[in-house]
């Protein structure tokens, strides 16, 4: 093989991973998202849209979560890092095993929170809010008090 052939072959092999990245390109405008009711493990009334990946499978994912004013999620944990960015509205978050609206933090648009795996927390919304969550799946939710799990209620 000639020196030119080796150089061209090396360049092709070096750029090949970049071609694979280009195939995974995602551009999502807000009006292109497909909103659906949240799964039954969340209280009814919120919606979610999968932006990238599959939150139920191993690997990276990005989802949007839309909650109405008055929406609440009881104390729960996740098995993965939960990364939350507030797109619009107000996101209230408290830490611990018991829901207490007198404690916690409020984040407005542009705010960010990162919760480690197993961190018990609860959330509520005082105005319509859109969040973006991302992480490395699979994503799941476990309620501190199993009786708070909406999927277990009749």
Bridge partners (DSSP) of residue 124 are 72, 92
Q: Which residues pair with 133 in a beta bridge?
A: 63, 84
| Beta-sheet pairing, 72-77 with 59-67 | unpaired
pLDDT value of residue 26: 78
State which residues of the chain have pLDDT below 50: 4-22
Q: Is residue 118 part of a domain?
A: yes
Report how many domains make up the chain.
1
Question: What's the pLDDT score for residue 23?
Answer: 55
Report if residue 131 sits inside a domain.
yes
The confidence score (pLDDT) of residue 153 equals 82
Range of the domain at 55: 29-152
Provide the pLDDT for residue 148: 97
For residue 22, tell me if it sits in a domain.
no
CA angle, residues 44, 40, 108, in degrees to nearest 5: 50
Which CATH number belongs to the domain containing residue 69 in this structure? 2.60.120.10
d(CA 63, CA 26): 13
């Amino acid at each position: 093989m000639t020196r030119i052939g080796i150089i061209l072959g090396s360049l092709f092999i070096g750029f090949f991973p970049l071609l694979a990245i280009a195939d995974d390109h995602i551009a999502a405008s807000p009006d292109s998202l497909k909103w659906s009711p949240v799964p039954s493990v969340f209280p009814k009334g919120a919606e979610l849209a999968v932006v990238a990946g599959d939150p139920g499978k191993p690997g990276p994912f990005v989802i949007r979560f839309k909650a109405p004013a008055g929406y609440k999620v009881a104390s729960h944990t996740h098995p993965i890092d939960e990364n939350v960015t507030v797109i619009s509205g107000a996101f209230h978050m408290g830490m611990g095993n018991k829901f207490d609206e007198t404690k916690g933090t409020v984040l407005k648009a542009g705010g960010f929170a990162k919760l480690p795996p197993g961190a018990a927390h609860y959330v509520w919304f005082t105005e319509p809010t859109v969040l973006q969550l991302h992480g490395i799946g699979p994503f799941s939710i476990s309620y501190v008090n199993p009786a708070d799990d909406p999927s277990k209620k009749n």
